[in-house]
């Protein structure tokens, strides 16, 4: 009797396992598709961090495809000549999603140098590709972002504006570049101080000149008003005549 119960229990357990395996592709395929290859996984959502940098990622994640090689990208985006210029070195990841403005592709390189090298190759590939008019490209931080099959240039640019590179480097110990950072900060501070002093000097000279002109003009008006009340001028060849003999009328009447 006990043997029959053990057999029944084992069959029921096996049935439950089989049922769970059948449900797994339908309920967790998307999470497996996105998390199986991602190096950085968000603790809260369990998604690759790169997916969360998609514009409106909460809705875009449902159609997002994560990849770390060119063949997976071509399966999703089709044969694109510019994709051949991308070398998926160790740590390079990509995510693509469909938007009304077009198909967005974000490729993240682990180093700025890798992104810069890829940028040069991509620019060269787009310049020689007949499909370049249908591709809008921009480098954003360590991201190399594309919009394929865009509706128009303006909408594609607005979609790329929504891509934000928000990663920062935190050192576990002392920052080895701290001295360079301080020197750069000192140079920038000295430059700003020098520019501010030069501006204040120029403003001071300009205000002094304006104040001098204003005071001189007011003094000129004051003297003209005084001259208007004079009785007469001496007619001594254009020179002021000394009234030593007290024969001339005083210029300033008493």
Within a 10 A sphere around the Cβ of 10, how many other Cβ atoms?
10
Q: How many domains does the chain have?
A: 1
On whether residue 244 sits in a domain, the answer given is: no
**Predicted local confidence at residue 239, as pLDDT:** 58
Instruction: Determine the average pLDDT of the residues in 176-201.
Output: 88
Higher pLDDT: 239 or 125? It is: 125
Q: Is the pLDDT of residue 91 over 80?
A: no
In tens, the pLDDT along 140-153 reads 888 888 888 887 88
Q: What is the distance between the alpha carbons of residues 61 and 223, in angstroms, rounded to a whole number?
A: 83
Total residues found in the chain within this entry: 254
Q: Decide if 57 contacts 101 (C-beta within 8 A).
A: no
Annotate 37-51 with b (16+ C-beta within 10 A) or e (fewer): ebeeeeeebebbbbb
Q: What is the distance between the alpha carbons of residues 90 and 85, in angstroms, rounded to a whole number?
A: 16
One DSSP character per residue, 147-207 reads: EES-S-HHHHHHHHHT---------SS--TTHHHHHHHHHHHHHHHHHHHHHHHHHHHHHH
**Predicted local confidence at residue 12, as pLDDT:** 58
Instruction: Determine the average pLDDT of the residues in 142-170.
Output: 80
Q: What is the distance between the alpha carbons of residues 98 and 93, in angstroms, rounded to a whole number?
A: 18
On whether residue 74 sits in a domain, the answer given is: yes
On whether residue 216 sits in a domain, the answer given is: no
The range of the structural domain enclosing residue 28 comes to: 22-161
On whether residue 237 sits in a domain, the answer given is: no
**Predicted local confidence at residue 198, as pLDDT:** 95
Q: What is the distance between the alpha carbons of residues 42 and 50, in angstroms, rounded to a whole number?
A: 9
- What percentage of the chain carries pLDDT values higher than 70? 66
Residues 6+ apart with CB under 8 A from 103: 77, 96, 97, 147, 148, 149
pTM above 0.75, yes or no: no
**Predicted local confidence at residue 246, as pLDDT:** 65
Q: What is the distance between the alpha carbons of residues 194 and 189, in angstroms, rounded to a whole number?
A: 9
Residues 6+ apart with CB under 8 A from 167: 141, 142
- Residue 186 CA, distance from chain mean position: 24
Most confident of 2-16, 68-82, 225-239: 68-82
Q: What is the distance between the alpha carbons of residues 109 and 160, in angstroms, rounded to a whole number?
A: 17
On whether residue 247 sits in a domain, the answer given is: no
On whether residue 38 sits in a domain, the answer given is: yes
Most confident of 12-16, 32-36, 118-122, 250-254: 118-122
On whether residue 111 sits in a domain, the answer given is: yes
**Predicted local confidence at residue 244, as pLDDT:** 64
**Predicted local confidence at residue 1, as pLDDT:** 43
On whether residue 170 sits in a domain, the answer given is: no
**Predicted local confidence at residue 6, as pLDDT:** 45
In tens, the pLDDT along 8-53 reads 445 555 555 554 444 444 333 333 344 445 556 765 666 777 787 7
Higher pLDDT: 220 or 66? It is: 220
Instruction: Determine the average pLDDT of the residues in 108-116.
Output: 83
Lowest mean pLDDT among 1-10, 138-147, 196-205, 235-244: 1-10
**Predicted local confidence at residue 195, as pLDDT:** 94
């Amino acid at each position: 009797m006990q043997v029959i119960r053990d057999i029944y229990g084992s069959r029921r357990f096996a049935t439950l396992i089989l049922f769970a395996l059948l449900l797994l592709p339908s309920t967790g395929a998307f999470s497996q598709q996105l998390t199986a290859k991602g190096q950085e996984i968000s603790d809260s959502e369990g998604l690759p961090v790169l997916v969360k940098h998609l514009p409106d990622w909460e809705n875009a994640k449902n159609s997002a495809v994560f990849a770390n090689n060119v063949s997976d990208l071509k399966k999703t985006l089709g044969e694109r000549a510019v994709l051949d210029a991308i070398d998926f070195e160790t740590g390079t990841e990509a995510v693509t999603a469909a938007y009304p403005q077009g198909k967005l592709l974000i490729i993240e390189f682990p180093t700025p140098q890798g992104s810069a090298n890829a940028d040069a190759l991509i620019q060269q590939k787009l310049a020689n590709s007949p499909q370049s008019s249908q591709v809008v490209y921009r480098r954003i931080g360590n991201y190399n972002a594309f919009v394929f099959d865009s509706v128009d240039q303006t909408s594609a640019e607005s979609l790329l504006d929504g891509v934000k590179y928000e990663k920062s480097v935190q050192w576990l110990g002392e920052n080895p570049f701290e001295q360079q950072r301080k020197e750069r900060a000192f140079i920038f501070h000295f430059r700003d101080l020098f520019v501010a002093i030069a501006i204040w000097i120029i403003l001071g000279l300009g205000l002094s000149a304006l104040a001098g002109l204003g005071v001189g003009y007011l003094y000129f008006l004051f003297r003209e008003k005084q001259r208007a009340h004079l009785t007469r001028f001496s007619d001594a060849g254009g020179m002021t005549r000394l009234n030593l003999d007290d024969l001339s009328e005083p210029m300033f009447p008493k």
